[in-house]
Structure 1
Amino acid sequence: MSNILDKAKAWLTDTFDPDTVNDVRKLIDTDQKALEESFFQNLDFGTGGMRGIMGVGTNRINKYTLGKNTQGISNYMKSVFPNEDLKVVIAYDCRRNSKTFAHQVANVFSANGIQVYIFPELRPTPLLSYSVRHLGCQCGIMLTASHNPPEYNGYKVYWKDGGQLVPPEDKEIISEINALEFTDINFNKNSELIKVLDNSVENTYLEEAVKNVDFNLSDDVKKALNITFTSLHGTSITTVPKLLEKAGYKNLQLVEEQSEPDPDFSTVKSPNPEEPEALEMAIELANKQNSDLAIGTDPDGDRLGIAVRNTENELVLLNGNQTMVLMTWYLLDKMKQNNSLTDSHFIASTIVSTPLMRVLTEAYGVKYMESLTGFKWIAKLIKDNPELDYIGGGEESFGYMVGDFVRDKDANTAILLVCEMAAELKSQGASVYDQLIKIYKDHGFFKENLVSLVKRGLEGAEEIKEKMIQLRNNPPKEIAGERVVLIEDYSNSQAKNLQSHETHPIDIPKSNVLIYYTENGTKVAARPSGTEPKIKFYISVNSNLKDTSEFKTLDKELDSKIETIKKELGLTE
């Protein structure tokens, strides 16, 4: 505790503004628990950049932790791009303080002689990713905490390829930041180097999105699709309606109560389209309007949730694996019809996503590539393989990226792709749900479930660490009565075959992930979240669907198997 107190007292100097000093002094005098949580560690970069609770302290998002990051990045940019005109673009979401933080970050960059482009108001993350390359910047910053609770904010860093930071730049930048003191931050802005963007970049992005997802459907086919959309109080209200209008989708209803940006996300418990509750208002409106689709996005507009009509004409929320598989099928099938698939094409997904992605992709004779969780790794696959042509790809956490004009998950373009697929299927007398069942019949019925255990604060971090140690030291020998035959440990890049006792290296960067495979293809992955105080368990089971008439029966059997696995692993309440 003395170390924490020393760290806190360092914030009582004139390096920090009077309000910050007063808040820190109040914590020291009245709230030891909050003091400990605010200073016990330095906020780290995770899979989606840096996220945390807003407040004073080294473990909080504030002017000084963001300023130190920005100063470190400024120093690094000068060292690695010594003969270039340095440029950065900044965007921000609807969260409390996002706009203020964005301008504070802009001040630091400009104080270091770096040209800054900043959006005039909230805009979605994929537009920021696009803008980096479009404007010829070496770096981009997005102020957002994605779908985290209202008390959070965050700082995503993009590099010159438009993707988020990956090795070696991430470690080098972190070293640069860690070498700094808060006294090293230069907040003295140079107004001449800060330019507020007009609408031209956004308009070009929307045109590119339409071009990437244009399958020559007729106007009548598009008009026949009835869509309900909610931005869940976030940024995508600035882009999705414009995009659908530009693409010819006129039949769009907005959930007006959720169209207004709101940092408290007052109409939902969580602004996360992974949660069924988040789309309740959209589904309610969709039922009133007899919509074919109900669609929602997270606050920074990179994740999407889709509800489609099932065989009973009820709107049901698809999970991230299902939407990813459907979008991948549509892209591959359209390219096959056009005879445009080549040996250079590839589809990408992540190690915790459904195995059906590999099965489906390889059935079309296309290369499948896998990465760690997080779209920065998919962007890295594109960057590291310039001889290959990226088609599309996604991850189970409701993210998808169509083409490589954006280098991060993009709910805008993905929504347009879903609408194209749904409209065409409807014109053929079929549905998205019918097509999903057909994919299961043709390629295997894979069903997934995600369990997230929330563990907050210092004690929670220790619990997560101990849980991963236990899983490594005492791995299960059986899962749901099936022998575990393979264990992949990404922390040491080793895969061990439990039958032959042979090990082989995993050619993917190290990460704190464990995956168990059984003799029947059941897959269970465990990993601490890189953006939230959670440990996540990803369960995948599968079976053969011989006839579509057996879908409901087999669906229940797979659900039952998942529940058995959750009980065995102690993941149920």
Structure 2
Amino acid sequence: MLEKFLNYLKDVSLENEYREELESIFPDKAHLDSAQLEEIQSRFSSELSFGTGGVRGLMGAGTNRINLPTIRKVTNALGQAAKELTKGQMIAVVGYDTRINSKKFAEHAASVLLDQGFKVWISSTPSPTPFLCFAMRRLGASCGIIITASHNPKKYNGLKAYDNQGGQIVEAWDKRIAELILESPLIMRPPSSPIANADLIPSEIEEEFVLNACSFLPLNTKSNLFPKIMYTPFHGTGGALVARIFKKAEVPLLLSASQSVMDGNFPTCPRPNPEEIRSYASVIADAMQSDARYILANDPDADRIGLVAEQKGYINELGNRWKLMTGNDLASLTLDYLAKTRPMSGSIITTIVTSDFLSAVARKHQLGVIKTLTGFKNIANSMNRLADIGDQYVFSAEESYGILIDGRLRDKDGVSSSVFVAKMLQDIESKGMSVWDAISDLQQSTGCFYNDLVNLEDPSSTGLEKFNRFMKELRTMDLSSFWGLPVVSRQDYLVGSTTHSDGRITPLLDREDDLAKAMPIPTSNVLKFYLDDNSFIAFRPSGTEPKLKIYIQSCTSLEHLRHLEQKVRAFLV
């Protein structure tokens, strides 16, 4: 590792900014103290792991950091994979968000692709991920790159890689890209093509995206009155395009004064995550001052959507009554409204850890349900398969605040979803209900679902091993003695089968509504335990970091949900 650090530092292809950064941290390389050795370990013990559709990490010098050498190595591998796996003219679309260095990294990636012979289209300004995915499909891209770290803090950045379908890469693509990265030199030579050789994404594609977003809205509504809705892009890319769509749809919208300015430092929300109520502190103050009833939010690259509204008797950790709706509930309400206003036959796609509430809503409207692994790259893969077999796509969502209505895209779309949710809020208000009433009303026909997520991290050197050992222990436990809970089945996605309490073993398939079209769900280190009342506990560790996510569902009550959570935490202590 020390040798790797020294070779990196003296490599002639390393940019001066990174050499100077390392020289300032390690001025005397012959006498390194323990803190400096630990820092070298952090920066050089590995390459940034290529997974979840790309790379993401802290910015800075080193092989385990996001920087220009990392960007060109991953971009080069993506471009080469695209040449091997696609046919026709090599076209690439490149975009970026508002983060620090995002534009620089995007232009660098574009130059690498130009060197490889691609015709490159690049966004002229920071742009939402959904729009860039739309542009990829509209322009017939062989591959695409978006520079973003989604909802991570300001010190992070990343590269999302897209295939010729405009979806995050899966299967043959990610395997080949990982191989090509390993075959690459420590630092590749910088590209020589000037960014001026790239073309800007045509402005008319933005207008097409706006019209497309409005095309899914119901034509006839009972009321022309809208509740006051405030929108926040969390200092990211969504503001201009969302405002434009709302204007086109003639839906009133207030923009958060404190969070609508593009700023990669995220001054009002150090963690710009629509899943965390603390991120909304500033926009809640704006909403209260403007008497807004609802807050809609997108994360900085605008692929996720959050909804916050006041609830009587509720107090959040900020000390006010504004409550963040779960991604599960928002997706379920949205599907129900879509199915009622645009009745159609077909299937929805969701993930194995998303609440069964969404599946229950789909069945209520006689829609098929397809389940796949976590992440929209897997949902996109299922969408491609639906198209191949001629089945109708209706909707997709996952619990982490991702929704996609338009079946022509292949990634979640927080931008178009925002205006659709606004129309749904208008419909709910016209009935004299709150959104919280609407959930209760919907569950009268689907049954009750209460869901929560427990995130566990152990940053110690043994953290990863600890969680892997825990998963092995879970696999050996007798179902009848699972913490005293009435378990009826264990779904093990690593082996692709369900073990039932009566001893039967059945395969894990992606759909139950049409077994003739069903396929095995891809393998993954996930365990899901169902109880006798249809509640579940699912465990999903990170493969590369000392993290464990535990998804809990109760079909009884909030009190029962907390009981299950206590059982889980007690076992992990």
TM-score, normalised by the number of residues in structure 2: 0.90
5 Å matches for 1:271-310? 271-310=272-311
SS at match of 1:262: coil
2:41 counterpart letter in structure 1: E
The corresponding residue for 2:486 is 483
CA distance in 2, matches of 1:353, 1:499: 26
- Return 5+ residue gaps in structure 1 as ranges: 544-553
Range 84-93 or range 531-540, more displaced: 531-540
Residue 282 of structure 1: how far off its partner (Å): 2.4
Partner deviation per Cα, 1:71-96 (whole Å, 9 max, x = no partner): 112222223345x2211111111111
Counterpart code for 2:336: W
TM-superposed CA distance for 1:438, in Å, is 0.9
Which shows bigger deviation, 105-114 or 527-536?
527-536
Q: Does 1:540 align with 2:553?
A: yes
Partner of residue 547, structure 1: none
Q: Distance in 2 between matches of 1:480 and 1:293?
A: 41
Q: Where do 1:515-530 residues align within 5 Å? A: 515-529=528-542
Q: Does 1:103 align with 2:107?
A: yes
Report the number of matched residues: 547
- Aligned CA RMSD, in angstroms, stands at 2.3
Distance 2:145 2:461 in 1: 28
Give how far 1:185 is off: 4.5
**Secondary structure at 2:349's aligned position in 1?**
strand
Residue of structure 2 equivalent to 1:500 = 503
The 1-side partners of 2:282 and 2:479 are apart by: 41
The alpha-carbon deviation at position 562 of structure 1 amounts to 3.9
Measure, in 1, the Cα distance between the counterparts of 2:475 and 2:62.
Answer: 34
Q: Give the C-alpha shift of residue 283 in structure 1.
A: 2.5
Partners of 2:443 and 2:484 in 1: CA distance: 24
The Cα shift of 1:152 comes to 0.9
Corresponding residue for residue 21 of structure 1: 19
Conserved? CA contact 2:357–2:446, under 8 Å? yes
Kept in 2: contact 1:47–1:530 (CA 8 A) = no
Counterpart contact for 1:479–1:518, Cα < 8 Å: no
* Partner in structure 2 of residue 149 of structure 1: 153
Match of 1:561 among 553, 560, 563: 563
User: Which amino acid letter does the alignment assign opposite residue 331 of structure 1?
Assistant: L
Is 1:44 matched with 2:49?
yes
Distance 1:237 1:454 in 2: 33
Distance apart, 1:349 and its partner CA? 0.9
Q: Distance in 2 between matches of 1:8 and 1:477?
A: 52
Q: Displacement, 1:458?
A: 5.4
1:138 aligns with 2:138: no
Alignment of 1:30-429 (within 5 A): 31-81=36-86, 84-182=88-186, 184-185=188-189, 187-191=191-195, 193-217=197-221, 221-250=223-252, 252-310=253-311, 315-336=322-343, 341-342=344-345, 345-386=346-387, 387-429=390-432
AA aligned to 1:261 is M
Deviation at 1:273, TM superposition (A): 0.9
Q: Secondary structure at the match of 2:355?
A: coil
* Aligned residue identity for 1:494: S
Contact kept? 1:71, 1:186, Cα under 8 Å:
no
| Larger mean Cα displacement after TM superposition, 96-105 or 257-266 | 257-266
* Structure 1 contact 225–249 (Cα < 8 Å) conserved: no
Q: Which amino acid aligns with 1:333?
A: K
Give the structure-1-normalised TM-score. Answer: 0.90
466-475 or 281-290: bigger deviation: 466-475
Map residues 398-477 of structure 1 onto 2, 5 A cutoff: 398-456=401-459, 459-474=462-477, 477=480
Q: Is the CA contact (8 Å cut-off) linking 1:309 and 1:433 kept in structure 2?
A: no
Q: Distance in 2 between matches of 1:532 and 1:294?
A: 33
Unaligned runs of 5+ in 2: 315-320, 510-519
Aligned mates of 2:461, 2:499 — CA distance in 1: 33
Tell me the CA shift for residue 148 of structure 1. 1.1
Go from structure 1 to structure 2 and tell me whether the alpha carbon gap of 1:89 and 1:531 turns closer, same or farther (over 3 Å shift): farther
Over 3 Å counting, the alpha-carbon distance change for 1:531 and 1:139 in structure 2 is: farther
- State whether residues 528 and 539 of structure 2, in contact with CA within 8 Å, keep that contact through their aligned partners in structure 1: yes
Q: Give 1:429 shift.
A: 2.3
Cα gap change, 1:286/1:558 in structure 2, threshold over 3 Å: closer, same or farther?
Answer: farther
- Aligned partner of 1:205: which letter? F
**Counterpart-to-counterpart distance in 2, 1:476 and 1:377:** 29
Amino acid at match of 1:536: K
Contact 1:311–1:433 (8 Å) recurs in 2? no
- What per-residue deviation string (whole Å, max 9, x for no partner) do you get for residues 16-49 of structure 1? 1233234345445461111101111221122242
Q: Secondary structure at the match of 2:272?
A: coil
Contact kept in structure 1, 2:256 and 2:287, CA below 8 Å: no
Which amino acid is 1:117 matched to?
A: W
Tell me how far 1:461 sits from its aligned partner: 3.6
**Farther off after superposition, 303-312 or 409-418:** 303-312
Distance 2:543 2:248 in 1: 36
CA distance in 1, matches of 2:89, 2:455: 44
The letter for the 1-side match of 2:329 is Q
In structure 2, distance between residues paired with 1:38 and 1:179: 20
* 1:565 alignment partner AA: K
Preserved contact between residue 491 and residue 497 of structure 2 (Cα < 8 Å): yes
User: Given that residues 13 and 188 in structure 2 are in contact (C-alpha distance below 8 angstroms), is that contact kept between their aligned partners in structure 1?
Assistant: no
Higher mean C-alpha displacement, 142-151 vs 495-504: 495-504
In terms of mean alpha carbon deviation, does 313-322 or 401-410 score higher?
A: 313-322
